[in-house]
Amino acid sequence: MSDENDFQSRAVLAEKGHKFEDFTPGQAFEHHWGRTITDGDNTWFSTQTLSFNPLYFNEVYARAAGHPKMVVNPLLVFNATFGMSVEDLSEGGGLFLGVDECEFLADVHVGDTLIARSTVIEKRLSKSNKTSGIVTWLTAGYNQHDDKVIEFKRTNFVRFRDPDVARSQS
Amino acid sequence: MTLTGEGNYFEDFFSGQTIRHARGKTMCENDNVGITLQVLNTAEAHFNEDPARNTFGKRLQFGGVTIAMIIGMSTQDTAENAIRELSMDKIRLKTSVFHGDTLYAFSEVLETNAYDDISGIVKFRHWGVNQKNQVVFEGERRVLIKKKNQQS
């Protein structure tokens, strides 16, 4: 390594994410950042996904239907809540398997700010996967008034830090 | 207002009705990288294809994008006249999706239930398939849909 790359040998990885061993049923997470959903977010997301209900991109139509502003596409509410949970829950590696019991509990309008919280429901070993276990979380999204707007159960493969230890302790 | 189409009000849906949605979409950077980062999903496999860091050696589409895309492609036919989305359940991601894959959407009406004077609830099952006809997505969804001849 040349002298001008010396910084690389000094650098310490700013590690992100959790592994299978880090999760315990009942453990709660308050996820980072929060996200204000803007007009641009909602219109772009809705048109990009061919989600052609004018409540999501025609303000006159949304107001005529009784909404104060355009309605945020529920699939964007789902994705934003999910997205904010990723660093704590699944960034450590492992495929996303599925979602169950997703309820859209309240309308979200452009300008609302979402935050996300999760609880570990269950962790178990997989018969076929030797490098990861399976974890299920309950994740919920809340608006700026702390009203719960969405809730869902998500299941992922989550990588073991040490496969031998993880499999013997689970 | 007559900004929305006919044929997709509550009364138009019947149990067993199965729909092949007209438009497919080839997944691109705007879809996967755009939406993944728009929603603050920090998982690197969706936006770093360096083989040293990504076991696929290519960017894996975020499953949330696949879910939104299949539900989205079904929306004109299943929810153009919806009042609100109610729920999703039994969502399964069965095949990995990568940039360049083309997705198509299918829906089946599982049940219809009148809700009040102006609306009813339709429960759908949806499927997403890729250009090789592999099922990439399957799931259920409930939508509150306007009855005909109701104001807004």
pLDDT tens digits, residue range A15-66? Answer: 999 999 999 999 999 999 999 999 999 999 999 999 999 999 999 999 999 9
Specify the CATH number for the domain of residue A100: 3.10.129.10
Identity at B113, one-letter amino acid code: N
Residues in Cβ contact with B77 at an 8 Å cutoff, skipping those fewer than 6 apart: B8, B19, B21, B107
Q: Tell me the chain A residues in contact with residue B64 when contact means C-beta distances shorter than 8 Å.
A: 78-79, 82-83, 96
The interface residues of chain A toward chain B in range 71-100, judged by CB-CB distance below 8 A, are: 71, 74-76, 78-80, 82-84, 86-87, 90-91, 93, 95-100
From B133's Cα to the closest Cα of chain A, the distance in A is 20
Q: At what angle do helices A39-48 and A74-89 cross, to 10 degrees?
A: 100
Q: Are A150 and A141 in contact (CB under 8 A)?
A: yes
Q: Residue A150: give the domain boundaries.
A: 18-38+72-169
Please classify residue B92 by burial: count the beta carbons closer than 10 Å to its beta carbon, then call 0-12 exposed, 13-18 middle and 19+ buried.
middle
Q: Which chain B residue lies closest to A114 (C-alpha atoms)?
A: B39
Domains of chain B: 10-146 (3.10.129.10)
Q: Are A67 and A109 in contact (CB under 8 A)?
A: yes
Q: What is the mean pLDDT of chain A?
A: 95
Measured between CB atoms, does A57 come within 8 Å of chain B? no
Structure tokens at A132: 């990861």
Backbone angles phi, psi at A146, to 5 degrees: 65, 20
Please classify residue A59 by burial: count the beta carbons closer than 10 Å to its beta carbon, then call 0-12 exposed, 13-18 middle and 19+ buried.
middle
Q: What is the pLDDT of residue A31?
A: 98
A22: in domain: yes
Beta carbons within 10 angstroms of residue A116's beta carbon: 26
- Whether the pLDDT of residue A2 is over 70: the answer is no
Q: Tell me the chain B residues in contact with residue A33 when contact means C-beta distances shorter than 8 Å.
A: 40
pLDDT, tens only, B58-107: 999 999 999 999 999 999 999 999 999 999 999 999 999 999 999 999 99
Backbone angles phi, psi at A87, to 5 degrees: -60, -45
A50: in domain: no
A97: in domain: yes
Considering only CA atoms, which of A31, A44, A123 is closest in space to residue A82?
Answer: A31
CB contact under 8 A, B84 and A107: yes
Q: Which chain A residue lies closest to B96 (C-alpha atoms)?
A: A95
Q: What is the pLDDT of residue A93?
A: 82
A113: in domain: yes
A23: in domain: yes
pLDDT, tens only, A78-106: 999 999 999 999 998 889 999 999 999 99
From A160's Cα to the closest Cα of chain B, the distance in A is 16
- Whether the pLDDT of residue B149 is over 90: the answer is no
Interface predicted TM-score of the whole assembly (ipTM), two decimals: 0.96
Confidence of residue A1 (pLDDT cuts 50, 70, 90): low
Structural domain count of chain A: 1
